[in-house]
A and B are shown apart, each in its own frame.
Chain A
């Protein structure tokens, strides 16, 4: 029981740390590196560094709005 909790907690923190280091590398360190360094192969073009978080944020917001609307509709139908 608590081993499963520990495993999930460890997985979450590992994911968050890796996302943080990848994003920091991408946004802050990569512009200072020369254009033909081999490290550029491992990172997508810089426009995606902006597109992916914005897209994720928009998806999250729309999911929240859909969920709230669905719950409101369901409660109204039950009352009527």
Chain B
């Protein structure tokens, strides 16, 4: 239950800040009405950006891939000699 309490309190804090901004009129009121929607859209954009950047920077380790293939072939031969069915050949 403690995690949902944290989430709820964060939401209440955000709405209190928003209502306070509405009342105080530091920024023009028409902006304050659109602020939650703008934050949601920008949060979605940020998530998509992080996914794209992570995809671009993903390391592939080609040498490890070759060593892994060799290990797989070795293991398959070993098991076939012992009589275990290794499947896709």
**Chain A residues with a Cβ under 8 A of chain B:** 1-2, 5-6, 8-17, 19-20, 23-24, 27-28, 31, 49-50, 53-54, 57
Contacts and interface: CB of A to CB of B under 8 A. Distances in A.
**Secondary structure of the B side of the interface?**
helix
A9 B55 contact: yes
Contacts of B57: 9
A10 B37 contact: no
**Secondary structure of the A side of the interface?**
helix
B34 A27 contact: yes
Contact of B55 (A12, A53, A57): A12
A35 to B, nearest CB: 15
Contacts of B23: none
Interface stretch (B9-17, B40-48, B80-88): B40-48
A2 B19 CA distance: 48
B51 A12 contact: yes
Contacts of A54: 37
B49 A13 contact: yes
Contact of B60 (A1, A10, A12): A1
Contact of A19 (B30, B40, B45, B56): B45
A28 to B, nearest CB: 7
A16 B30 contact: no
Interface string B45-89: 110110111111110100000000000000000000000000000
